[in-house]
Structure 1
Amino acid sequence: MDRFEDFSSMSAEERQEWTAQAAGLSPEQRELLRQGGGLPLEVADSMIDNVIGTYALPIGVVRGMVVNGKEYLVPMVCEEPWVVSCAEKGAELAAQCGGFHATYTGSIMISQIQITQVTSPHVACLKILEHKREILELANQADPVLVSLGGGAFDVEAKPLDTEVGSMVITQLLVNTKDAMGANAVNTMAEKVAPLLAQITGGKAYLRILSNLAVHRLARVRVSVSREVLGGSAVVDGVLAAHAFAWNDPFRACTSNKGTMNGASPVACATGNDIRALEAGAHAYASRSGVYRPITCWERTASGDLEGMIELPMAVGIVGGTTRTHPMAGLLLRMMHVESAAELGMVIAATGLAENLWTLRTLATGGLQAEFVPSLERRQET
């Protein structure tokens, strides 16, 4: 079957079988996919507090997502109609023009330690940097396994901060978390070095926690779509007008970014990653200039075609956490055939860009309701 053949003409069972064959799932994995939810109550009880049951959401799949020349089946867990279709239609446009091209800056997380009651904050920052080697050695004692894998804390930053409750010093550990999201690792490191920092500065340590604004952990994706594939020069004009609206109006930018995260967040959810962290980082990054902007950018090429890009903080992992404990998250992650957190992050960002591409195209040529509501009503009637 062609990768972009309409799935809607197939039953859910037929789509399961097609996906299982395309992903090379084992009989045991196919059975888990058929179970629906795939989370035993006893496993759920080990994941969060006060468990009383489980809650299932649909799993959709995007076919034909081409990133750096590799084709992916991309699972998406969400409740909103036509989100999966938008991502797949955007992926189809991109695939016809060479797919998405992506890079990743590295799995670097920031861990912050807040020191208050510091009388000379600027001098205290210099003292912290003078003890950089000692701080890093102590931090890495907190996670020798990560260090053995080539990760760990590798740099220290310090900055004074004037606030309404007085001056403070913020120390930031830069930590390579490798293929883990790394929240637990960097939090533990922050707690480990806090007493030393208090001793160095003569202040009092309070917060010891990661930042979800992962500016050193960016997935960058670009795509070029010819005007012929997109639907003509008028469609290019419409997409650029829609983007200009979002770029200059935060009310529109908010909804535009929500639409982009319609693509990214369901993939993170499917693979057991922290969607709240991903979305918080995305919206904070969208405001880094002091004005809330779209997290995608669209431009016209010299030949009149459409080019777009996304730059997104991407703190995701393929080991540990829910990816290890949730059977279905593990299965869906294996279905993608990604080999690193970097690769997963690039595919997630590409899915967000695909979602935004088709959404803007649809809004510029008639609207989401006109395109998708009739097909949704037909499905619900049957």
Structure 2
Amino acid sequence: MTTNHNQKFYEKTPDERRQLLGKQFGLSKTELAALAADASPAGNQTIENYLTDYRIPEGVVTGLVVNGKEYTVPMAIEEPSVIAAACNGAKMTAYSGGVAAPEQDRLMIGQVVLKNVANPYLFKNRLLKQEDEILKVANEAYPSIQQYGGGATGIRVRCPEDFVIIDLLVDVVDAMGANMVNTMAEAVGHWLSAKGQTVVAAILSNYATDSLQSVSCTLDFADIATDQLSGADVASRIADLSFLAQVDPYRATTHNKGIMNGIDAVMLAAGNDWRAIESGAHAYAAMEGQYRGLATWHVVGDKLVGKMTLPMAVGTVGGSIGTRQLTATNAKISQIKSAPELAAVAASVGLVQNLAALRALATSGIQAGHMKLQYRVVAMRAGATAEEAGLLAKRLAGLDHVDEQVAQQELSKMRKEQAHD
């Protein structure tokens, strides 16, 4: 964005930016007023060229049982059926004791990448012998974390192609730890540069393979049966869909998208970097050379057993988590007290989300439940008020074909009927 004014765009106030954009792109007074109405001082301090806050709906999944504790978990997402599906999956798993999510190690990885090393494998051995010195350099760069029991704890050295890569392993305690790890990695990079080494990069990796979270659940057939299908039939179909996601990357991509529907929504409501979780999850899904479904389901005797493991580099303190009142409020609602607990709950939401999606796909089809909620969205697009949307959605659900034009016609009919009452 450039202007004829001497002042740069990023130096202007949010209102000045909105006015400039309004003139350039012909925004109406109503559109400009809407931008201004949702603006916040905190948002202007968070990102460059700030205009307004882009809001999405937040709800909660209820009745989610993880490690014997029942949770109410805030989720922020605009897709209509996600929270409904999560609640359905949570209910089914709760009948059999809920989701098991053992607490696991949480280490983040900082990469210090070197090039132009004469003998990479000889140099690798030298670095491993200097591990204590490297850890000292890293911890001195961010000493405050040690008083909480964290800090750099170890290194790995790899030699892919022409690079020598030091993986700096850092215990970030309850923080996601990006700033901490970057600071430590850069300190080690500067230390090596001073010794004459060519440092290509020093930065956090979002492929958090040392911060994995496993979750599992076991369901009785009776808890997944439908009016038309026995629990054994439903379980068999879910297992088939699960296997399909292991052998077909096209199905695996949609399989995992549904899982991340739940996890991303929890991460967003918890003030975490959902994009980091997303990228790590998809990389982990392809770790064996073929992209596969993260969650697997098998029939074991008269039970359906679901399992999933994925990287969960989450935090409950630090970064932007403490800057938003709603994030703190959401933490009170969820009663989640630590990063390991957040990882366990978020991954559990992903697993029950997958269960609900596969059960729907295996029985009534994915559109049946989805469209019940989607009709409200269609109703709003057609011009229905918030009060009218529910009534119009019920009318649309009884039609064979629904699009925005049909919704507008039904809205007009409904209003005429109400006017005559």
TM-score (norm 2): 0.78
Per the alignment, residue 325 of structure 1 pairs with 323
2:252 aligned partner:
253
Report 1 or 2 for greater relative contact order, CA contacts < 8 Å, sequence distance ≥ 6: 1
Pairs within 5 Å for 1:35-114: 41-114=40-113
In structure 1, what residue type is equivalent to 2:352?
Answer: A
Q: How many residues are matched?
A: 339
Deviation string 1:79-126 (CA, Å, 9 cap, x unpaired) is 111100011100000001100110232221000011111111111111
Shift of 1:157: 1.1
Alignment partner, residue 206 of structure 1: 200
Whether 2:169 is the aligned partner of 1:169: answer no
Q: Deviations over 1:257-308 (max 9, x none)?
A: 0011111110000010001100000000001111111010111112x21000
- Which whole-Å CA distance do the structure 1 matches of 2:303 and 2:372 have between them? 30
Q: How much does 1:378 deviate?
A: 5.6
Instruction: Tell me the secondary structure at the aligned position of residue 255 of structure 1.
Output: helix
Q: Distance in 1 between matches of 2:258 and 2:336?
A: 25
* Structure 1 letter corresponding to 2:166: T
Unaligned runs of 5+ in 1: 1-37
Counterpart amino acid of residue 221 in structure 2: R
Higher Rg of the two aligned structures: 2
Aligned with residue 210 of structure 2, among 203, 212, 216: 216
Asked whether the equivalents of residues 90 and 357 of structure 1 are also in contact (C-alpha less than 8 Å), the reply is yes
Give the distance between the partners of 2:319 and 2:74, measured in 1 at CA.
Answer: 19
Partner residue of 2:363?
Answer: 365
2-side partners of 1:134 and 1:372: how far apart? 56
Contact 2:61 2:72 in 1 (8 A): yes
Aligned equivalent of 1:273: 272
Aligned CA RMSD, in angstroms, stands at 1.5
Kindly provide the amino acid, as one letter, of the partner of residue 41 in structure 1.
S
C-alpha separation in 2, matches of 1:65 and 1:308? 15
**3-state secondary structure, aligned to 2:290:** coil
Could you tell me which runs of 5 or more consecutive residues in structure 2 were left unpaired when the two chains were aligned. 1-36, 226-230, 380-388, 391-421
User: One-letter code of the match for 1:139?
Assistant: A
d(CA) in 2 for partners of 1:39, 1:186? 34
Q: TM-score, normalised by structure 1?
A: 0.86
Q: Classify 1:375/1:55 alpha carbon distance in 2 versus 1 (closer, same or farther; 3 Å).
A: closer
Residue aligned with 1:104, SS: coil
Distance 1:104 1:258 in 2: 25
Matched residue SS, 1:98: coil
- Paired with 2:373 and 2:109, the residues of 1 have a C-alpha distance of 45
Q: Distance in 2 between matches of 1:172 and 1:198?
A: 17
- In the TM superposition, 1:7-46 aligns within 5 A as 41-46=40-45
Distance 1:228 1:353 in 2: 19
Question: Secondary structure at the residue paired with 2:160?
Answer: strand
Deviation at residue 208 of structure 1 after TM alignment? 0.6
Question: Do 2:86 and 2:353's aligned partners in 1 also have CA atoms closer than 8 Å?
Answer: yes
Residue pair 2:81, 2:369 contacting (<8 A) in 1 also: no
Report whether the alignment pairs 1:230 with 2:224.
yes
Show the counterpart of 2:416: none
Q: Distance in 1 between matches of 2:198 and 2:103?
A: 37
Moved more, 112-121 or 367-376: 367-376
Shift, 1:41, TM fit: 1.4
1:75 alignment partner, SS class: strand
Residue equivalent to 1:32: none
Q: For the structure 1 residues 246 and 267, does the alpha-carbon distance in structure 2 shift closer, same or farther, using more than 3 Å as the test?
A: same
1:235–1:364 Cα contact (<8 Å) kept? yes
> Could you tell me whether the CA contact under 8 Å between 2:357 and 2:366 is conserved in 1?
yes
Alpha-carbon distance between aligned partners in 1 of 2:122 and 2:222, rounded to the nearest angstrom: 61
Secondary structure at 2:167 match in 1: strand
Percent identity of paired positions between Structure 1 and Structure 2? 40
Shift of residue 155 of structure 1? 0.2
The 3 A distance-change label for structure 1 pair 54 and 378 is closer
Distance 1:210 1:342 in 2: 20
> In 2 relative to 1, CA 146–369 (structure 1 residues): closer, same or farther, beyond 3 Å?
same
In structure 1, what is the Cα distance between the partners aligned to 2:372 and 2:174?
42
Do the aligned residues in 1 keep the contact of 2:314 with 2:339 (CA within 8 Å)?
Answer: yes
Q: CA deviation at 1:199?
A: 5.0
Cα distance in 2 for partners of 1:111, 1:329 equals: 27
Shift, 1:153, TM fit = 0.1
The one-letter code sitting in structure 2 at the alignment partner of 1:218 is: L
Structure 2 counterpart of 1:182: 177
In structure 1, how many angstroms separate the alpha carbons of the residues matched to 2:153 and 2:370? Answer: 49
- Residues of 2 paired with 1:40 and 1:340: CA distance? 31
In structure 2, how many angstroms separate the alpha carbons of the residues matched to 1:370 and 1:41? 39
Can you list the C-alpha shifts for 1:133-154, whole angstroms capped at 9, x where unaligned? 1110110011111111110001
Instruction: Please state how far the C-alpha of 1:39 moved relative to its aligned partner.
Output: 8.3
Q: Per the alignment, do residues 369 and 194 of structure 1 end up closer, same or farther by CA in structure 2, a change over 3 Å counting? A: same
Cα deviation, residue 131, structure 1:
1.1
Give the whole-Å Cα distance in 2 for the aligned partners of 1:268 and 1:40: 22
Deviation at 1:47, TM superposition (A): 1.6
| Aligned residues of 1:104 and 1:218 also touching (Cα < 8 A) | no
* Counterparts of 1:203 and 1:375, CA distance in 2: 58
Provide the residue aligned with 1:196 in structure 2.
191
5 Å-filtered alignment, 1:75-154, equals 75-154=74-153
Contact 1:39 1:328 in 2 (8 A): no
Aligned counterpart for 2:341 among listed residues 340, 343, 347: 343
